[in-house]
């Protein structure tokens, strides 16, 4: 169940219910974070989005009342709240039927923001097939639309014409901005404020006549603004190399167009460990299977060349063995050896004093060949540490 007037805040923003800038600041980061936060909330009524922006636009210390919220954004939002502007259809200059937000010249309500059932929030308020028809009152599927509710049914017609003629909202925003009187717009603003205070979307600061309100997400905005400042105030330059470690952006978060980086030192060259796998063809009583059993030998290498040297020796000298050959279709089958690799992730926090760190490969060797206590101490110096491959011997009591 949902209200037929619900849409995403981004939809309302694209219709002009949210401004593109903030009057109290020229800080692009604050603007992107604030407006981005509003546009990416869950679905809501048009006036809720317009009021949110108005509260944000009042500034961090701004505390305003409903009358002070009268502006072009809330005036336009009131048209949607009143059902005057509907998600519907119109006929363009070429005679094509187009879906968009529309209204009729008499400003009679085209829909009622009532509860309905749907799989999503994008249903049109009325069907395109009714355009050009003489309609007085029309009730849509499951009552989601009431044409000309609480108005003279003839008001739905365009003056001097027969049929149902709609006009595109975005083509006529300027003339529609002041279509409703202040008292009507204030009524919708107050209803929105009651909803938003109850749901926690806005904070009520004072009570009684002339009650005032403020935006509810200043703490969130300041938190991400500070993270961005830390990102921009990094002491190192991207690409700096020290002891084999390179200064990088690390994990990047795009918060509504504001880049926030969690800087890291990463190995200049990617780190790998290498092992030797023994591939043994499976044998059954009846057949020689193409599938093979794989066994990883207890050897650990830090360069591919070292591992390949041992593999070449094993493949040359291990087989055939006297009496150990199996013949399939007249050909001997033997186990064989191959090199396998595993990429090891090592990262250091960007704030670390990297000059005190040993080179990445040396550190990886130390962690793998040392005992568990030494591995744990070195792992504490890393943001991301590789798993311990060479372990300790388990002694049973």
Share of the chain above pLDDT 70, in %: 81
Q: What CATH code is assigned to 2-80+182-219?
A: 1.10.10
**Which of 167-181, 205-219, 282-296 has the lowest average pLDDT?**
282-296
Q: What are phi and psi of 258, to 5 degrees?
A: -105, 120
pLDDT band at 293 (very low <50, low <70, confident <90, very high): confident
How do the domains of the chain map onto residue ranges? 2-80+182-219, 83-176, 234-268+345-397, 272-338
Name residue 331's beta-bridge partners.
328
Name residue 296's beta-bridge partners.
277
SS3 of the chain: helix, strand, coil, percent, to 5: 35, 25, 45
pLDDT band at 7 (very low <50, low <70, confident <90, very high): very high
**Which of 97-106, 170-179, 231-240 has the lowest average pLDDT?**
231-240
Read off the pLDDT of each residue in 298-320 and give the average, rounded to a whole number: 89
Q: What are phi and psi of 46, to 5 degrees?
A: -60, -45
pLDDT in tens, 336-389: 899 999 999 999 988 788 888 999 999 999 999 888 889 999 999 999 999 988
Query: 38-47, 115-124, 351-360 — which one is most confidently predicted on average?
Result: 38-47
Higher-confidence residue: 208 or 236?
A: 208
Nearest to 234 by CA among 215, 247, 220: 247
Q: CA separation (Å) from 342 to 118, 195, 269?
A: 50, 56, 14
For position 32, what pLDDT does the model report?
A: 92
Can you tell me the distance from the alpha carbon of 220 to that of 226, in angstroms, rounded to the nearest whole number? 10
pLDDT in tens, 360-371: 999 999 999 888
For position 161, what pLDDT does the model report?
A: 44
């Amino acid at each position: 169940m949902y209200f037929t007037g619900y849409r995403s805040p981004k939809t309302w923003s694209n219709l002009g219910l949210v401004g593109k800038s903030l009057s109290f600041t020229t800080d692009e980061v604050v603007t992107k974070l604030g407006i981005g936060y509003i546009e990416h909330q869950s679905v809501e009524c048009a006036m809720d989005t317009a009021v949110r922006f108005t509260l944000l636009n009042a500034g961090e210390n701004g505390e305003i009342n409903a009358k002070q919220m009268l502006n072009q954004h809330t005036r336009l939002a009131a048209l949607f709240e009143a059902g005057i502007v509907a998600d519907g259809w119109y006929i363009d200059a070429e005679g094509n039927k187009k879906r968009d937000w529309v209204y009729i010249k008499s400003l009679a309500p085209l829909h009622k923001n009532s509860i309905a059932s749907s799989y999503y929030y994008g249903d049109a308020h009325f069907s395109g097939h009714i355009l050009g028809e003489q309609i007085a009152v029309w009730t849509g599927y499951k009552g989601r639309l009431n044409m000309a509710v609480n108005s003279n049914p003839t008001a739905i017609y365009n003056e001097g014409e027969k049929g149902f003629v709609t006009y595109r909202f975005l083509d006529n925003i300027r003339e529609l901005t002041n279509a409703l009187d202040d008292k009507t717009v204030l009524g919708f603003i107050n209803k929105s404020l009651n909803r938003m205070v109850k749901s926690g979307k806005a904070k009520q600061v004072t009570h009684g006549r002339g009650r005032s309100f403020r935006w509810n997400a200043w703490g969130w905005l300041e938190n991400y603004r500070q993270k961005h400042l830390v990102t921009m105030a990094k002491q190192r330059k991207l690409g700096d190399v020290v002891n084999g470690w390179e200064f990088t952006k690390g994990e990047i978060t795009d918060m509504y167009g504001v880049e926030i980086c969690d800087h890291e030192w990463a190995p200049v060259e990617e780190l790998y460990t290498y092992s030797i796998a023994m591939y043994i063809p499976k044998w059954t009583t009846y057949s020689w299977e193409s599938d093979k059993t794989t066994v990883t030998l207890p050897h650990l290498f830090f360069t591919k060349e070292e591992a390949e040297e041992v593999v070449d020796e094993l493949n040359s000298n291990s087989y055939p063995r006297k009496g150990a050959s199996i013949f399939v279709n007249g050909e001997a089958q033997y186990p064989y050896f191959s090199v396998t690799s595993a990429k090891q992730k090592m990262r250091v926090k960007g704030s670390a004093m990297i000059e005190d760190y040993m080179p990445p490969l040396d550190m990886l060797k130390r962690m793998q060949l040392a005992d568990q206590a030494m591995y744990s101490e070195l792992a504490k110096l890393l943001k991301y540490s590789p798993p311990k491959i060479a372990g300790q011997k388990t002694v049973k009591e």
